[in-house]
Amino acid sequence: MTYNVKRWLVTGGGLGFAPVASGSVGALAAIPLFLACRQLGESLYLVSMGILLIGACAGMVWAGSWVEGVYGKDPGEAVLDEIAGLLLTFLIYHRGATWQIVLWGYLASRFFDIIKIPPARQMERIRGGWGILLDDLISSAYAGVALHLAHRIAPDIGLGSWMDV
């Protein structure tokens, strides 16, 4: 694969070059993917999101050493890991496609990625694509679980259900 194709993939089509909060900007690319998959119905949603998640993870692991060679250790320009993370949050918390779910999922995913509860922070020590990716996946798993807990504790905050679709 050429340099430009790798760069386009890892930077989320260039979103990783945002001048501030490149990870948060890059994660936005997962939202249209999520919304498109939600239109497919429950079973196809799960399959299509799983395929997208596996593809994003494989792409980040595959290009990880190259990314670190070009941009440095876990660079801000690489946002495919943030995209994979938000996809995982939406896969774990799959209760509809309302604007509230998109907003809460995005905010929870970004929050947990920023604070990095263990073992997420420790994963950053791993070199290459796995190190870039694993902290985001762990943080996003925390986000998905947190959304489930929030829905149980306060069901009226707009976290929806399959019936809301």
User: 59 near 132, Cβ under 8 Å?
Assistant: no
127: left (phi over 0), alpha (psi -120 to 50) or beta: beta
Q: Where is pLDDT greater, at 160 or 60?
A: 60
What is the predicted pLDDT for the residue at 122?
94
Distance CA 87, CA 161 (A): 18
Whether 162 has a pLDDT exceeding 50, the answer reads: no
- Both tokens of 27, joined, read 């994660």
The pLDDT-based confidence of 158 (bands split at 50, 70, 90) is low
Number of structural domains, the chain?
A: 1
Whether 164 has a pLDDT exceeding 50, the answer reads: no
User: 90 near 34, Cβ under 8 Å?
Assistant: yes
Distance CA 66, CA 69 (A): 5
pLDDT in tens, 14-61: 999 999 999 999 999 999 999 999 999 888 999 999 999 999 999 999
This prediction has a pTM of 0.91
User: 149 near 80, Cβ under 8 Å?
Assistant: no
Parent domain of 47: 3-164
User: 31 near 103, Cβ under 8 Å?
Assistant: no
pLDDT in tens, 91-142: 999 877 788 889 999 999 999 999 999 999 999 899 999 999 999 999 999 9
User: 80 near 10, Cβ under 8 Å?
Assistant: yes
